Amino acid sequence: MTPFPIRSLALTLLLAAVAGSAGAAPLIKEDEARLPAAAGALTTRGITRGPAIKLVSPDPALGAAKSPFTFKVAFEPRGGAKIDPSSVTVTYLKATPVDLLPRVKAGLSAGGIDLAGAEVPPGEHQIRVTLQDSEGRQTSTVLQLNVGK
């Protein structure tokens, strides 16, 4: 039989390990990253009066991000319109697209996406974010994530 203090220490360490991993959430899984790339060139629209979508974190200007990181995307409405959070779609662009909305839903608001502890495998990843404002104007942007080892 194990003495009480050792069992208590083991339980404390186990709970700390579980709590430490609870903050991280897979945004893109390893098997999804290995899927074939989407065929064809990615096209984006030109100037629009629709809302803007901007990748805030990880900052693309700083080079490759280290996983896990805070995945933060800002939605900027224009002309007094409001963002409709129920219109947001988030898709990992692969030959078979992967719906990421269930994974980011906890951090989704009319102001954007704020997901702490996003885990992404190393490599270059393209994520399409589409949304609509209260005036029916739709915007779609492809975010480029570069994740290092």
**Model confidence over 26-68: pLDDT tens digits?**
999 999 999 998 886 555 555 567 899 999 999 988 889 999 9
Q: Which of 96, 88, 92, 83 is nearest to 128 (CA)?
A: 92
- For 34-70, the DSSP string reads TSPBPSS------S-SS-EEEEEES-GGG-SEESSEE
Q: Which of 73, 51, 74, 45 is nearest to 134 (CA)?
A: 51
- Give residue 32's pLDDT: 93
Domain ranges of the chain: 24-148
Which stretches in the chain have pLDDT values below 50?
Answer: 1-22
Give, rounded to a whole angstrom, the gap between the first and last alpha carbons of the chain.
43
pTM above 0.85, yes or no: no
- Give residue 6's pLDDT: 46
- Give residue 20's pLDDT: 38
SS (H, E, C) 102-135: HHHHHHEECCEEEEEEEECCCEEEEEEEEEEECC
- Give residue 39's pLDDT: 81
From CA 68, how far away is CA 26, in angstroms rounded? Answer: 9
The domain made up of 24-148 has a fold known as Immunoglobulin-like (2.60.40)
Distances (CA, A) of 37 to 18, 93, 95: 34, 7, 5
Q: Where does residue 78 rank: exposed (0-12), middle (13-18), buried (19+ CB within 10 A)?
A: middle
